[in-house]
């Protein structure tokens, strides 16, 4: 029997598998229910007593050799073709892959950080709001176009409730519930019933600012916006053009001088070098009165900007729909930011 075991040892040592099927056949041949070792165990009973110890040791060595052979081939073979595994278990682990922040989140965080540095707190409110906070408190007359169904998503079961069209509704809540001085910025998602195109969407994000205290002037507004423009864009030249908003008087649009150094500059500024960034103005006394603030004692300014518009300018994105499609090819460009 010893000669038979030596013959099997040479066979096992010389065995080389080219596929997982061959490994399995090898296992069945030696360790299966009707395999070689079952026969060897049966024959072991007939071995002379003086040889049992030596034969027993050789049987155990042979079985260990088979198991090690199977284990080695199982680690190195991971496909029917017998190709070696792409994983090298002897290599050290690699670094953890970093995730991606959405460009809108990056812009939101950067803007909030800038205003936080000059004392503005952050306030948020509900996306489903009532008419008073969205329109009436902010000096929107009943006939104002923004109240029309074409601009606002109303709640069918309650015509007084709607998806907010601007984060100014948060400002009306703050003014109603907080005594001056007030210095806050309100970020959030807003909704307008508009056609979706490369330049507009029915869902977008805003950040609006509000400052109310004694003796607040238009000069304070300009200085605050100049600081923001320098910190965010690295630009120092701004201009304020007269405009109209129901909740501010006087009102203005703020432009920043972007420059005309590249072809892209000509395209996004339409050849003027100036780029519209946000709307702003002094809080209308009617708005202060509606929210229970004495307009004879307090004054204030407000401003608001679209985050998607800022993101498109900063990252040179020419289609707003890209920001809502969650395309990993886009998001991967912001990995680790």
Could you read off the pLDDT of 79-131 as tens digits, one per residue?
Answer: 444 444 556 666 666 666 777 888 999 999 999 999 999 999 999 999 999 99
**Residue 280: in which H helix or E strand, if any?**
strand 274-283
Strand 121-122 versus strand 128-130 pairing type: unpaired
The pLDDT assigned to 270 comes to 84
Number of domains in the chain: 2
Alpha helices in the chain (DSSP H): 2-14, 20-31, 36-44, 49-76, 103-116, 131-134, 168-177, 218-233, 263-269, 285-290, 307-314, 328-331
pLDDT at 296 over 60: yes
Residues 6+ apart with CB under 8 A from 69: 12, 15, 26
Distance between CA atoms of residues 221 and 212, nearest Å: 11
pLDDT of 311 higher than 60: yes
- Mean pLDDT computed over 177-205: 90
Return d(Cα 286, Cα 295) in angstroms, integer: 8
Question: What is the crossing angle of helices 36-44 and 49-76, to 10°?
Answer: 170
Contact yes or no for 298/214 (Cβ under 8 A)? yes
109 and 228 share a domain?
Answer: yes
- Give the whole-number percent of the chain exceeding pLDDT 70: 90
More confident residue, 92 or 71: 71
Please report whether residue 330 resides in a domain: yes
Q: In the predicted model, is pLDDT for residue 77 greater than 80?
A: no
pLDDT at 157 exceeding the cut of 60: yes
* 316 in the same domain as 249: yes
Domain of residue 23: give its range.
2-76
Q: To which residue do tokens 């199982």 refer?
A: 74
Query: How far is it, in rounded angstroms, from Cα 269 to Cα 260?
Result: 8
Give the end of a domain, one of 27, 59, 76. Answer: 76
pTM over 0.95? The answer is no
Domain boundary among 57, 76, 95: 76
Dihedral, CA of residue 44, residue 45, residue 47 and residue 53, to nearest 10: 70
> What is the C-alpha R_g of the chain?
37
- The CATH number covering residue 198 comes to 3.30.930.10
pLDDT at 4: 78
Segment (H or E) for 299: strand 299-306
pLDDT tens-place string over residues 41-58:
777 677 777 777 777 777
For residue 93, is it within any domain? no
pLDDT band at 16 (very low <50, low <70, confident <90, very high): confident
Structure tokens that stand for 83 in this block:
């190709």
Looking at per-residue pLDDT, the higher value among 311 and 80 belongs to 311
116 with 184, same domain: the answer is yes
The pLDDT of residue 76 is above 70: no
DSSP-derived secondary structure for 224-259 = HHHHHHHHHHS---EEEEEEEETTEEEEEEEEEE--
189 plus 306 within the same structural domain: yes
Return the percentage of the chain with pLDDT > 90, whole number. 43
Is residue 114 domain-shared with residue 261, that is, in the same domain?
yes
Residues 121 and 260 in one domain: yes
- Mean pLDDT for the stretch of residues 299-303: 96
Confidence band (pLDDT; 50, 70, 90) for 190? Answer: very high
| Beta sheet of 128-130, edge-to-edge order | 128-130, 158-163, 154-155
The total of other beta-carbon atoms located within 10 Å of residue 14's CB is 7
The pLDDT of residue 79: 45
At 68, list the tokens.
């090690």
What value does the mean pLDDT take over residues 252-273?
Answer: 86
Q: Which residues pair with 206 in a beta bridge?
A: 188, 306
Residues 260/273, Cβ–Cβ less than 8 Å: yes
Q: What is the pLDDT of residues 208-250, one digit of tens each?
A: 999 999 999 999 999 999 999 999 988 889 999 999 999 999 9
């Amino acid at each position: 029997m010893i000669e038979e075991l030596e013959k099997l040892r040479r066979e096992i040592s010389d065995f080389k598998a080219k596929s997982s099927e061959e490994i399995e056949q090898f296992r069945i041949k030696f360790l299966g229910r009707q395999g070689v070792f079952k026969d060897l165990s049966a024959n072991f009973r007939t071995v002379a007593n003086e040889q049992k110890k030596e034969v027993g040791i050789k049987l155990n060595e042979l079985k260990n050799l088979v198991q090690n052979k199977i284990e080695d081939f199982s680690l190195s073979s991971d496909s029917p073709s017998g190709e070696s595994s792409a994983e090298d278990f002897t290599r050290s682990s690699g670094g953890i892959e970093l995730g991606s922040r959405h460009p809108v989140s990056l812009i939101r965080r950067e803007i909030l950080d800038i205003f936080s540095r000059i004392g503005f707190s952050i306030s948020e409110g509900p996306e489903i709001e009532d008419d008073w906070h969205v329109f009436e408190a902010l000096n929107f007359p009943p006939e104002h176009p923004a109240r029309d169904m074409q601009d606002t998503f109303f709640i069918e079961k309650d015509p007084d409730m709607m998806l907010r069209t601007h984060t100014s509704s948060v400002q009306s809540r703050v003014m109603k519930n907080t005594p001056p001085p007030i210095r806050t910025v309100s970020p959030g998602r807003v909704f307008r019933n508009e056609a979706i195109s490369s330049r507009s969407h029915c869902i977008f994000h805003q950040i609006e600012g509000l400052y109310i205290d004694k003796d607040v002037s238009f000069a304070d507004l300009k200085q605050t916006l100049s600081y923001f423009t320098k910190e965010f864009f690295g630009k120092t030249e701004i201009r304020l053009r007269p405009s109209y908003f129901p909740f501010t008087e006087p009102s203005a649009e703020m432009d920043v001088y972007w420059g005309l150094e590249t072809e892209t500059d000509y395209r996004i500024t339409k050849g003027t070098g100036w780029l519209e960034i946000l709307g702003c103005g002094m809080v209308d006394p009617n708005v202060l009165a509606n929210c229970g603030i004495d307009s004879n004692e307090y004054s204030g300014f407000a401003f608001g900007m679209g985050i998607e518009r800022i993101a498109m300018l900063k990252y040179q994105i020419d289609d707003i729909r890209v920001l809502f499609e969650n395309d990993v090819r886009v998001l991967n460009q912001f990995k680790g930011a």
